[in-house]
Amino acid sequence: MILYLLRMRLRMVRRGWYNSELLDEMMQRGYELKDEGRLKECCNLWQEVWRRQNMLEVVKTPELV
């Protein structure tokens, strides 16, 4: 799981931090992990997506900063 997150982070850096396609891929991977019964990894991944999505919203609405 850690290797997966590191790869995702590297891709985020290469593509740009706020990439909705990558966030969607991460969400889909979370569903796969859930279906495999790997709930802790699923939740960790979704938490990372949630954190990045919230940061995306702050960037879209800088008046909130």
DSSP 23-51: HHHHHHHHHHHHHTT-HHHHHHHHHHHHH
Query: Residues near 26 by Cβ (< 8 Å), separated by ≥ 6?
Result: 8, 45, 46, 48, 49
pTM of the model: 0.61
Q: Going by C-beta distance under 8 Å and a sequence separation of 6 or more, which residues neighbour residue 12? A: 19, 22, 52
- Evaluate whether residue 4 is within a structural domain: no
Whether residue 5 is contained in a domain is answered as no
Report the C-alpha gap between 28 and 33 in whole angstroms. Answer: 9
Tell me what pLDDT residue 16 has: 62
pLDDT in tens, the chain (65 residues): 667 776 776 776 666 665 677 788 889 999 999 999 999 999 999 998 888 777 655 444 445 44
Is 25 contained in some domain? yes
Query: Is 2 inside any structural domain?
Result: no
What pLDDT shows up at residue 65? 43
Q: Residue 28 has what pLDDT?
A: 93
39 within some domain: yes
Question: Is 27 among the domain residues?
Answer: yes
Count how many domains the chain has.
Answer: 1
Model pLDDT, residue 4 = 75
Q: Which domain holds residue 34?
A: 10-64
Report yes or no on 23 lying in a domain.
yes
